[in-house]
Chain A
Amino acid sequence: MPEKFDCIVVGAGPAGTACAYELAKAGVNVLLLERGEYPGAKNVMGGVLYRKMMEDIIPEFYKEAPLERPIVEQRFMMMDKESAITFSYKGLEWGREPYNNFTVLRAKFDQWFAEKAVEQGALLVCETVAVECIVENGRVVGVRTDRPDGDIYADVVVLADGVNSLLAKQLGFHREWRPDEVALATMEILKLDKTVIEDRFNLEPNQGCTIEIFGDATKGIVGTGFLYTNKDTLSIGVGTLLSGLIKHKMKPYDLLEYVKNHPMIRPYIQGSEPVEYLAHLIPEGGYHSIPKVAGNGVLVVGDAAQLVNAIHREGSNMAMTSGRLAAETIIMAKAQNDFSESMLDQYRMKLMESFIGQDLKKYKDATHHFERFPQYFEQYIPMMNRAASQMFTVDGASKWEKQQKIWRDLGSAKQKFKLARDMMKAWKVMK
């Protein structure tokens, strides 16, 4: 007779592990299934972990978790072919407790986090793929794994199986994602001496810096590049909407190579040695793409529920919070021994009331807007760079003349009107 758990969580990423951790802590008998060799083995992200949402789960986790560097500086580069405009904020208050956020390497961090869930009493089983939900009388009663004698039952199943959530799709919760709802991120981890990193990025030991790169990083395709400092490695990557790659007939790896060789980026990474290559899909459909997240005996959390704020490159924090909210709901459901959809749907309400729902709603049209109007990346960023170059090049021309020139560079009256309209639109989707 197959064993029955109170809850099965499918996927030991930040969402699933957060959920399992909270459940185990409350004394719920929870099985955490992971397809990778260990938690984090198959997980990819740029590598920024947000302190607040993690602390909601494990207070003062930063005292023991395997973190890379607390981030004290965030830079934003508007990059053209051989120029860039950079904005930056550096604040030492972020380098002290309780910190703001950290760079992490997921392979290390996820393992540690899952270990914490196990300490709370969750049972972690790796190298096991959940292939489908077992549905009886219209409700999910367990999962079928790829292993022999692989059926396992539970009162409730939490799907934290990532962006492509096969299980949620089988249940009809969501359709196949469109290429403009998912981004493909490719990244490399580059080994570089600790002191060299600190020199190049102007950091003290135990300080980190993140650089978000817009414009030529993606050759004008909607998306961003990033370069983050870890302890003795750099994470460099580029993420673009799948639709953009298809349209431009680009291979993601080529784009990464392009960024690595970009004259604005190369000096940062010179002399480093690639130690790992990773690629992953990121759900960027936003608010409009959030699927059904609760059913009879089942909840969907994290990437599987498309909970990513593409504009602020936030995902792991939303994942963790969604996992925590799912756990809260399950604990409540267990108390009443009611795992019906109407009961579990309280999770959706919690989600929408939280910062997740609020933020995703705020930016609900942003990605789509930039995807539909590629001129922001293709034309305006180079235009800004030309303007800056004009303004700051000392060549004997008067500042007045320079302004005239910049103005002319914006094109005909019609083009200027379009530019103004685009900026208004951008403001509207971002505000």
Chain B
Amino acid sequence: MNFDDYRGIWVYLEVKDGNIAPVSLELLGAGRQLADKRKTELAGVLIGSGVKPLAQTAVTYGADVVYVYDDPIFAYYRTEPYMRALLDCCEKHKPEVLLYGATPTGKDLASAIATDLPTGLTADTTILDIEEDTGLLLASRPAFGGNIMATILCKKYRPQMATVRPKVMKALPPDPSRTGRIVEEHIALREEEMRTKVLEIVRETTKKARIDEADIIVAGGKGMGSKEGFQLIHQLAEVLGGAVGASRDVVEAGWIDHHHQVGQTGVTVTPKIYFAIGISGAIQHVVGMQNSELIIAINKDPNAPIFQSCHYGIVGDAFEIIPLLIERFKEEIPKVKAAADVKEEIRHA
């Protein structure tokens, strides 16, 4: 394998609902930096049916080249045809680095490509860097359930591949004046040869939060006073779209059933945000949630051990604070949503 034959930073451009997926735009932003550092081209690979017009979007977000496979056989994502197209492109143009969004589609495709090429693939990367001289990609990711960070290298194979977590990298502001090459590619595939067929796509919008999968958990303890008082926990969880957690004594008191119990004898959880409200913070509870990304504690007792196990704490009365929080979140969350939607619209305008 002659490494000099492999040039350029590539991004697989995932298409979602007729647009380039946000994660792919983020990757163009990250890829731009890598390409500039390595003084090489940033390319996107666009596969789909009727997707050619999107190529220009990729250019405005930073791509120098966009390879386009536009064919009805790519009407929806399937491993086989997409893989064949991307493999074809890799063989023809030999990238040094190939990045994918760590979405179900991106991971599926990347895994297949890595096996066929073959080459190394780093999953769920959150930090990317490249060695200027050697072109060695430094892909770092949380490992072992987020307990450590690890930097993964692929020294002996090219291209170097990684899937990258959505919402970690930053997309560049679109620049309509940017120009780039758009290269139309073709590969002869016949529908009869395809072994899988998508019969139907069903969109589901309801998000039912399960405690072991929830991104946000609002957990309440004995400090909520009674089953009635505990309702405030439910209300706050609902406003945040999160799940309800509980300490052991609350479960034992019968305020909520044991599926909600967090801790040594209950479930261990690692959400993005964990609220511990009216929970003293006994070790048996803390071991069940200490790896959460952001832990917020609210407790009347300034000496409660929970304040040793949280990132931020409020000493105060939950019955005063929660209603205020609910009120304010009700006002603010729709604004965050709206802002995101507007951004999406601008992006695709």
Contact = CB atoms under 8 A, between A and B. Distances in A.
B283 interface: yes
B179 interface: no
A134 B110 CA distance: 57
A253 B282 CA distance: 9
Interface in B237-296: 264, 282-284
Interface string A151-192: 000000000000000000000000000000000000010000
Contacts of B282: 253, 277
Contacts, number: 10
A263 interface: no
A117 to B, nearest CB: 27
Interface in A109-156: none
A274 interface: yes
Nearest to B263: A277
B153 to A, nearest CB: 34
A276 B264 CA distance: 9
A275 B286 CA distance: 10
Interface residues on A, range: under 10
Contacts of B264: 276-277
A277 B264 CA distance: 9
Contacts of A275: 283
A303 B284 CA distance: 26
Contacts of B283: 188, 274-277
Nearest to B265: A277
Interface in A264-297: 274-277
B29 to A, nearest CB: 42
Most buried by B among A188, A274, A275, A277: A277
Contacts of B284: 277
Contacts of A253: 282
Contacts of A274: 283
B308 to A, nearest CB: 11
A277 B263 CA distance: 11
Contacts of A276: 264, 283
Contacts of A188: 283
A253 B264 CA distance: 15
B267 to A, nearest CB: 15
A247 B284 CA distance: 26
A244 to B, nearest CB: 21
A161 to B, nearest CB: 19
Nearest to B283: A274
Interface string A252-269: 010000000000000000
Interface string B19-38: 00000000000000000000
A275 B264 CA distance: 10
Nearest to B284: A277
A130 B282 CA distance: 32
A43 to B, nearest CB: 15
Most buried by B among A188, A253, A275: A253
A97 to B, nearest CB: 37
Interface string A208-235: 0000000000000000000000000000
B266 to A, nearest CB: 13
Nearest to A279: B284
A210 B306 CA distance: 31
A10 to B, nearest CB: 22
A188 B283 CA distance: 9
A274 B305 CA distance: 12
A253 B248 CA distance: 13
A188 B286 CA distance: 14
Nearest to B264: A277
B244 to A, nearest CB: 23
A253 B284 CA distance: 11
A23 to B, nearest CB: 32
A32 B109 CA distance: 49
B222 to A, nearest CB: 11
Nearest to A273: B283
A62 B202 CA distance: 63
B289 to A, nearest CB: 15
A276 B284 CA distance: 7
Interface of B: 264, 282-284
Top 10 A-B residue pairs of the complex, sorted by shortest distance between their CB atoms: A274-B283, A277-B284, A277-B283, A277-B264, A253-B282, A188-B283, A277-B282, A276-B264, A276-B283, A275-B283
Interface of A: 188, 253, 274-277
Given A275-B283, A277-B264, A277-B283, 7 more contacts: A188-B283, A253-B282, A274-B283, A276-B264, A276-B283, A277-B282, A277-B284
10 contacts: A188-B283, A253-B282, A274-B283, A275-B283, A276-B264, A276-B283, A277-B264, A277-B282, A277-B283, A277-B284
